[in-house]
Structure 1
Amino acid sequence: MASLRCRRDPCGVICLILTYFSVFYADYVVIQYVLIPAYSDSVWCTLHGSVFNLILLLLLACHSKAVFSDPGMVPLPETAIDFSDLRSQSSRMNERGCEGWTVCSRCETYRPPRAHHCRVCQRCIRRMDHHCPWINNCVGELNQKYFIQFLFYTGMASLYSLVLVVSAWVWRIRSEREGDAEKEAEESPSKHLIV
């Protein structure tokens, strides 16, 4: 089982902190300024709050898996590769059925097809897509699924919070028309723009 690890890249650590801060801030704003004022007297507050927090929980779980899982690092060789006889080594590799393998001069290792060297991680990554500062890790063969799920749940949380804000505005307009404006006089639609 792979051990949990995290890069010490300053930009990546700052992006990780910003990611968690923005998720918790969005949760606070949606609960405090959208759900409670709009649905405090009904079961809808609990229902929408539970669904929104479930989406955020899944978002954070997928984000954590993408951060701490191995993206598919190519193992470093036990001994240094002799680059002086590169042609004969390539022919030996092709005889073994490793067609398309190349040598990374930075890692000094053989890398499979579609593997690329990441200058931030200082390693070759199988099926590397990119190095993402928001997960402080490369997106590669082994963690791409978690990264895509993280993006999906981020989109779901954004869309759901937008729907909640619009429904709160509709509720406010209906309340004002029915003469309930004094109950929510301190609430302003500008607070919902914080979301």
Structure 2
Amino acid sequence: MRPCSTVMHLLLRCMRGCGRHSRSRMPRRLRQPASYIKLIFKSLYFNSLTNSEVVLDCILEPVFWAVEVVTRWFGMVFVFLVVALTSSVVFIAYFCLLPLVLHTYSPGWMMWHICYGHWNLVMIVFHYFKATNTPPGYPPKMKNEVPFVSFCKKCVIPKPARSHHCGICKTCILKMDHHCPWLNNCVGHYNHRYFFSFCLFLTLGCMYCSISGRNLFIDAYNAIDEISQPPYTYKDRMFHKSVIYMWVLTSTVSVALGALTLWHAVLITRGETSIERHINNKEAKRLAKRGKVYRNPFSYGILNNWKVFFGVEKRSHWLTRVLLPSGHTPYGDGLTWDIYPLKKDMMPV
């Protein structure tokens, strides 16, 4: 029998089989057309690659598209909000709290507040500026320049290990963690450290303002009904309202951003990004069914993961590269990840 005849024979058998199940439901003359339509419909979606995740992605595609458009167009708005809210807290600290510190605190506490507050502010401003203005890193366009492990169907370029496509930036990103609307930028290989340091020092700054301003907030909150009446002046009312605004804002941000910072700290400890966390979980479950244990190939141990992330090569770098502003580039080029072929502590503490 010829191949074409074989295919036609199989189609006829399928149509006859479908017709047997529907004899009692429709007239004889409609059975064959209905079976043919049903067969065509099944051929449109049935293949070996179709699963629940593919179907869910197709259903949610309009939602993803809307989120991408909103994030892309409102990126500058989010950046403006970060700058405006941070500037408002700094303004209140300088014009409301600093004069109070200079008049009421002892010299030792006064020097502590001035030194710590300004150091924290410099670290926040530096890392936010670098995180927003540093490109995350993009893979080369030419195939012979990339040690690729897969191919991006959207960019139509080879993808190195740990690279992923960003639907908002419309390009692939080296060691992509996520697209951050508050930075209006992707977090990738070259600005991941800036992003985490910004979150860390902003959390510390908000906690500092919340803790140090707690007593002032309680006094201002208890006097909220009295400040609208004499002998309180307009300046007194603005002072109390500013203290309440600053404490509520910094306390809220310290909790929310602190949780995000803690989550990223856990990821850094494990040597993975936010995207890789989901991929590794799925891979671990898949291998667990086969009785195997999945190990992250990009993890070099807890201490080394932090050293690689911060670029620490010697002990002094914990001060010069972590606790002070530093614009040094990360390890490697984001294309290969054989920094430590042997997974042991190979750098001095």
Shared fold per TM-score greater than 0.5: yes
Q: 2:95 aligns with which of 32, 40, 58?
A: 32
The structure with higher relative contact order (CA 8 Å, sep 6+) is 1
Tell me how far apart the structure 2 counterparts of residues 193 and 133 of structure 1 sit (CA, whole Å).
Answer: 28
Percentage of matched positions with identical amino acids? 24
Counterpart for residue 201 of structure 2:
153
Provide structure 1 residue ranges, at least 5 long, that are not aligned to the other structure: 1-8, 82-92, 173-181
When the two chains are superposed, the root-mean-square deviation of aligned CA atoms in Å is: 3.3
Counterpart for residue 174 of structure 2:
126
Tell me how far apart the structure 1 counterparts of residues 139 and 169 of structure 2 sit (CA, whole Å).
Answer: 12
Counterpart for residue 186 of structure 1:
236
Q: Does 1:65 align with 2:130?
A: yes
Instruction: Summarize the alignment of residues 1-195 of structure 1 with structure 2, pairs less than 5 Å apart.
Output: 9-36=72-99, 38-42=100-104, 43=107, 48-77=113-142, 98=147, 101-168=149-216, 186=236, 189-195=240-246
Q: With structure 1 as the length reference, what TM-score do the two structures score?
A: 0.69
Task: Tell me which amino acid in the other structure corresponds to 1:41.
Answer: H
Q: With structure 2 as the length reference, what TM-score do the two structures score?
A: 0.41
Cα offset, 1:103, TM superposition: 0.8
SS of equivalent to 1:117? strand
**Structure having the higher Rg:** 2
Which stretch has the larger CA shift, 184-193 or 11-20? 184-193
Tell me how far apart the structure 1 counterparts of residues 163 and 117 of structure 2 sit (CA, whole Å).
Answer: 38
Contact kept, 8 Å, 2:217 with 2:244, in 1: the verdict is: no
Provide structure 2 residue ranges, at least 5 long, that are not aligned to the other structure: 1-71, 221-230, 247-349
Tell me how far apart the structure 2 counterparts of residues 141 and 56 of structure 1 sit (CA, whole Å).
Answer: 25
Richer in strand (by share): 1
Cα offset, 1:150, TM superposition: 0.2
Tell me the number of residue pairs that the alignment of Structure 1 and Structure 2 aligns: 161
Task: Tell me which amino acid in the other structure corresponds to 2:88.
Answer: Y
Structure 1 residues 183, 193: closer, same or farther in 2, change over 3 A? closer
